[in-house]
Amino acid sequence: MHPAFSVIFLTTLIGAGQGLLLALYAVELGARFDLLTPAAPFFFIGGSVLSLALLAAGLVASFFHLGRPERAWRSAAMWRTSWLAREVIALPAFMAAVLAYGAAHYLGLTASAWIGAVAAVLCLALFVCTGMIYACLKFLQEWHTALTPVNFFLLGTASGLTLAAAFAAYAAPPLAALLGVAAAAATALALATRAASLARNARIRPTSSLQTAIGIKHPRIAQKSQGLMGGSFNTREFFHGASLRAVRAVKWVFLLLAFPLPMLLVIAGITQGASALLVLAFGVQYLGLLAERWFFLAQARHPQNLYYQVIS
């Protein structure tokens, strides 16, 4: 598939915003049950603003993928059958909940925990909707697995926790180490499930062939021409156009930047008390997630490419 950068930024930005909200709410619950030292209101207010900014940036990025942005509201009409329509509904609802959560802490309302619970439920619903947009497509075997929504959740949560640790180093220093450990653990878990999906996809055998694509059963078929004078929508939107070497390079780049390197930076930041390393960890991990999402989209092999595989 052709990776659209609008989709790449949408999914990675909102994922980090979702993970950050979950981290904020976990800290509040921990304090409510006397498991953690209560954080100052600024930690929750600033974290909510930061989460909302990431979500808004992701929402803006999504409009660049639309042919007619002024009709974007219509995409929610098919919510009964479309995961995309459900995501269109879940994202603004979650953004409103994050805004209410930050406002509750700003106003000192005791109901902030209940508002946070609603936000957390909407956050999980948004993770499911985003992941299922891809996992529900049976003809794209690389995406059609339960690991797809799981990876969306874990990758977003890991990046959000890393950002929470970096923010806590400035807004709530006593929490930075704990959030850093949680970020490292979430990143390790995300690495395990992402590696599992890579191993699964490496074993996939396509259910379609050149014979089934054109309806001819002859055992030896060689395509010599695409049948058109040049490229078309099919060749632009359903194939990334990169070489196999480039795709493999991107895979190793994201495996390094999204997982071990930020984990090392987080651990170093915690042990040395260096908040700059925690900020760097989030930046490096986000770059890795951009590469990961590009690879995720590019790795999917659309069956139509069996027919449009040669341009003469």
In whole angstroms, what is the distance from residue 147 CA to residue 70 CA?
A: 34
How much is the pLDDT for 238?
77
Domain of 237 in residue numbering reads as: 5-306
Q: Residue 197 falls within a domain, yes or no?
A: yes
| Rg of the chain in Å (alpha carbons) | 22
How much is the pLDDT for 255?
97
Q: Residue 311 falls within a domain, yes or no?
A: no
Whether residue 252 has pLDDT greater than 90: yes
Q: Residue 59 falls within a domain, yes or no?
A: yes
Amino acid, single-letter form, for residue 53: A
Q: Residue 136 falls within a domain, yes or no?
A: yes
Average pLDDT score over residue span 285-301: 94
Record the pTM.
0.92
Alpha helices of the chain — where are they, by DSSP H? 5-32, 41-63, 83-107, 112-135, 147-171, 173-202, 210-214, 233-237, 244-257, 260-272, 275-299
Q: What is the mean pLDDT of the chain?
A: 90
Q: Residue 211 belongs to a domain with what CATH number?
A: 1.20.1630.10
In whole angstroms, what is the distance from residue 109 CA to residue 103 CA?
A: 9
Q: Residue 312 falls within a domain, yes or no?
A: no
Q: Residue 109 falls within a domain, yes or no?
A: yes
Number of domains in the chain: 1
Whether residue 228 has pLDDT greater than 70: no
Q: 312: pLDDT confidence band, cut at 50, 70 and 90?
A: very low
Q: Residue 153 falls within a domain, yes or no?
A: yes
Tokens of 184: 């490292």
